[in-house]
Amino acid sequence: MGRTQRPDQILHTLQIRSLLVDRASNCIGPYSVGTMLDTHCHLSFPQFRDNLQKLLSDARAHGVAGAITISTTTSDALQSLDIAQRFANVWCSAGIHPLNCDEPIHWPDLLTAASDPKCVAWGELGLDHHYDDPPRPLQIKVLEDQLTFIKQSGIELPVVVHCRKAFSTLIPILRSSGLPADRFVFHCFTGDEEEARQVLEFGAWISLTGIATFKSAKDVQAAAKLIPDDRIMIETDAPFCTPEPFRKIRPNTPRYAIETARFVANLRASAWDDFHHLININTERFFGIPQAQCVVEG
């Protein structure tokens, strides 16, 4: 009598087989030696929507194997999830940006996005006091509502934080949320040394964009040297903030993450290979996206 397999065993066998096929052909893993991830960009923005395949292969050819596309509204959370589901090496987040907090909010959409395996973070959420519109009280209310929502959801993803000129207001709000400080990353850090110290003393991570490469950004560069090895990440925030020497190119795209990474490695007097390895380990630790076991070829 031949062995028969139960349906669940068959499914399991098929899953393993497709995993092996992926490994052999295209490398299932998104990044490894020689490549990194862009940990923060906005692929759902109109500049990119119709051009994603080319943008991602261009990134890969330049050593950026994939990206996390970050949402800014509840409807964008679903659009970002859709992109993450269409591209193997794209992940997404679920959150409301402080500058979009006056747009319609549909909480169930946030939960739908956050519940998907391709969603690796909450956010971006926070405060932007560079602008007075939307008004600060509304920014604070939507921030607090999101933190409560995150806590009540029980979905323990890390949280991407947007903070512009608002460190002393924002950090106490994050602290009082009761969420562990090391689950937060202050993305696109544009503060000075003192503000970096506030973030680090709180216990959060810091992520740098192309702004760190600007000649005018001496404060950010000084701050970048203070960040401990185990709490630093690199991103583009594309379509914004193209790094030097490509600053005039608009829009920024994920491929330029590697330029910022190289600049920051140099700034921190770190060998490129070491720093590259470090940011990949940190991306895996913070977002839980495993590194590949094989080299991804362009």
Contact residues for Zn ion, defined by CB under 5 A: 237
CB of 199 to Zn ion, least distance (A): 17
Cα 127 from chain centroid (whole Å): 17
CB of 237 to Zn ion, least distance (A): 5
CB of 179 to Zn ion, least distance (A): 20
Dig out the tokens for 156 from the structure: 């323990």
Choice between 185 and 265, CB closer to Zn ion: 185
CA-to-CA dists, residue 143 to 93, 189, 199, angstroms: 16, 18, 17
Choice between 72 and 213, CB closer to Zn ion: 72
How many Cβ atoms from other residues are within 10 Å of residue 180's Cβ?
12
User: Tokens 């956050």 sit at which residue?
Assistant: 114
d(CA 105, CA 250): 30
CB of 121 to Zn ion, least distance (A): 12
The three state secondary structure string of 233-268 is: EECCCECCCCCCCCCCCCCCCHHHHHHHHHHHHHHC
User: Among 296, 212, 219, which Cα is nearest to 260's?
Assistant: 212
Choice between 242 and 291, CB closer to Zn ion: 242
CB of 69 to Zn ion, least distance (A): 10
User: Among 143, 102, 152, 151, which Cα is nearest to 123's?
Assistant: 143
CB of 25 to Zn ion, least distance (A): 33
Choice between 109 and 237, CB closer to Zn ion: 237
Q: What is the DSSP letter of 125?
A: E
Dig out the tokens for 209 from the structure: 């964009």
CA-to-CA dists, residue 172 to 59, 176, 179, angstroms: 37, 6, 12
CB of 128 to Zn ion, least distance (A): 11
User: Among 73, 35, 45, which Cα is nearest to 289's?
Assistant: 35
Choice between 195 and 237, CB closer to Zn ion: 237
Choice between 65 and 67, CB closer to Zn ion: 67
**Residues 44 and 67: beta-carbon distance below 8 Å:** no
CB of 41 to Zn ion, least distance (A): 7
Choice between 205 and 292, CB closer to Zn ion: 205
Choice between 78 and 188, CB closer to Zn ion: 188
User: Tokens 């490994």 sit at which residue?
Assistant: 23
**Residues 204 and 173: beta-carbon distance below 8 Å:** no
Comparing every residue's Cβ against Zn ion, the nearest one is: 237
